[in-house]
Amino acid sequence: MAQRTDLDLDLEERRRLLDEWVTTRRQIAALEAKSYALLVERISVHDADVSESPHHRDAIYRSMIAEYSAAGHIPKGSVEYAFTDARTLTRALPAVHATFAAGAITARHVREIVRASEIVDDAIRDGRVEPATMSLYETAVLVVAEQDTAQRTKIHARQVAAALVGETVVERQRRFAAERCVTVKSVDDGLAVLTAVLPEWVAVAISDRLTRMARHIARTRGEREPILESLDDDCENALHLSDLSPEDPRYDAYFEAGVIAADGTFVTDPLAGLIDPLTDPASPDLEHLSGDTRTFDQIRADLLSDLLLSSDPSEANGAGLENVSARIQVTVAASTLVGDDDRPAELDGHGPLDPDVARGLAGRCTGWSRLFLGSTGLVTETDAYSPTEQMRRFLRARDQHCRFPGCRMPVHRCEIDHNHDHARGGRTRIDNLSHFCTTHHSLKHPDIDELHRWKARQTPDGSITWTSPLGRDYVDPPRRRVMFV
């Protein structure tokens, strides 16, 4: 029998801590489900109170929300959402409720599933789809929810709901577009939160452009000349050498003795006998100005202020920003693009997009690619002018974001990785390439010690299996285009 080493014991302890953490998280989710059940019971009490005193309906509701908000130290809006989610979960989503009670999904998963189910519920009440449609919705959503993050579940749930009810998602987006607004809320200490409710594709484009402009500034801030304030006491009446004609007696006097004052008199040159800082960088009279020390988020915030208040980034940010434009990625069926149908397009990495918006974007963009879908719903081919670009377009369409489980970083901010290292014989082909963000790409870098290095391998269906230093496997399946007929 092989003798256990210190490394074996260390790995065993790390696995134990991981397993206990996962178990605790499941227990927390199960307790959250229990709290939802208690809210449902409280709703029954509320309904009984309203039946006895229907004229005080609003007061009864406000009192209930206020008490739970105060007792739980939770904002009023969050308590209202919790009651709504609990009621919907019990009334319309029994399978999700059971999964939640088992601790297999979290409260955040439930919140996103309930939100996305609203359009399915509306369609059922309007008689546009059968009541059994909600069961289909639950089944399709839980496939992802039990294996992935709440954010990815949100996107999947919205896509499933949109497919199940047809064009309702388009009508819904157009209706809610009327709720565009901008609000300001003080957070004290001289700061405030500026909130803009915009069409999703517009907000994504704004965020992308701010990020790319901030990255440009951070990369080039060491190359910019500082903008200095004038040291003249009276800038308006100051007299400079360029203001004088060579025939003016004061012109020669400037070189002979000193400096010209505003009233035409002369004083001794204050720099006489000193090392000229303009010609000698070692001069003790050279003042060194501090550079741009802003964080990345601070640069983004300043850029947003500049663009909104002056319509152009401030001069201090340097040149080149006018060439930074926003980028978004949209997938739309050819039949929708030419107007044969109004199926929702997809804002990749986010969710459904109004087909009219997609057509408008297509009319102003030359970078569209034709995609071919296989029988499983996976993208299998794309048009291109060269093999290399064809592979890149395919990978962008397939991955949409970083392929580490749960990561949502869009592909245009990711790097294409050879899952089997190219330096060790890995081929440059579709089934060995995938997008990883900088953070997750570095996890498998060959320079990292084996004790902390991750491994990634791709299976024929496009899934990426990550193996942690503890030997645990985490699978990220490729995105599918879901469509129900």
Segment (H or E) for 122: helix 107-125
- Side-chain-side CA neighbours of 338 within 13 Å: the count stands at 3
Cβ(477)–Cβ(462) under 8 Å? yes
Burial class (CB in 10 A: 0-12, 13-18, 19+), 423: exposed
Residues of the chain above pLDDT 90, percent:
27
Burial class (CB in 10 A: 0-12, 13-18, 19+), 189: exposed
Residue-wise pLDDT for 21-79, tens only, equals: 999 999 999 999 999 999 999 999 999 999 998 898 888 998 999 889 888 888 888 89
Residue-wise pLDDT for 102-116, tens only, equals: 999 999 999 999 999
CA dihedral 237, 238, 242, 248 (to 10 degrees): 80
Q: Which pLDDT belongs to residue 343?
A: 82
* Model confidence at 383: pLDDT above 50: no
Q: Residue type for 168, please?
A: T
Helices 107-125 & 150-164 angle (0-180, nearest 10):
10
Q: Residue type for 140, please?
A: A
Give residue 483's pLDDT band: very low, low, confident or very high (50, 70, 90): very low
* Model confidence at 206: pLDDT above 50: yes
* Cα 211 from Cα 293, distance rounded (Å): 17
* Cα 213 from Cα 248, distance rounded (Å): 49
What is the phi/psi pair of residue 127, to 5°? Answer: 80, 15
Structure tokens that stand for 152 in this block: 């990815």
DSSP one-letter string for 262-329: TTS-EEE-TTTTSPPTTT-TT-TTPPPPP-----HHHHHHHHHHHHHHHSS--GGG-SSGGG------
Q: Which pLDDT belongs to residue 324?
A: 58
Please give the model's pTM, rounded to 2 decimal places.
0.59
Q: Residue type for 451, please?
A: L
Give residue 384's pLDDT band: very low, low, confident or very high (50, 70, 90): very low
467 SS3 class: strand
Q: Which pLDDT belongs to residue 171?
A: 73
Q: What are residue 473's DSSP bridge partners? A: 467
* Model confidence at 258: pLDDT above 70: no
Tell the residue number behind the tokens 């039946």, with chain if given: 51
Nearest to 466 by CA among 477, 458, 455, 452: 455
Q: Which pLDDT belongs to residue 174?
A: 78
Q: Which pLDDT belongs to residue 237?
A: 60
Structure tokens that stand for 277 in this block: 């800082």
Q: Which pLDDT belongs to residue 186?
A: 78
Residue-wise pLDDT for 390-443, tens only, equals: 578 788 888 888 999 888 888 888 998 988 887 787 777 888 889 999 889 988
416 SS3 class: strand
Q: Which pLDDT belongs to residue 389?
A: 62
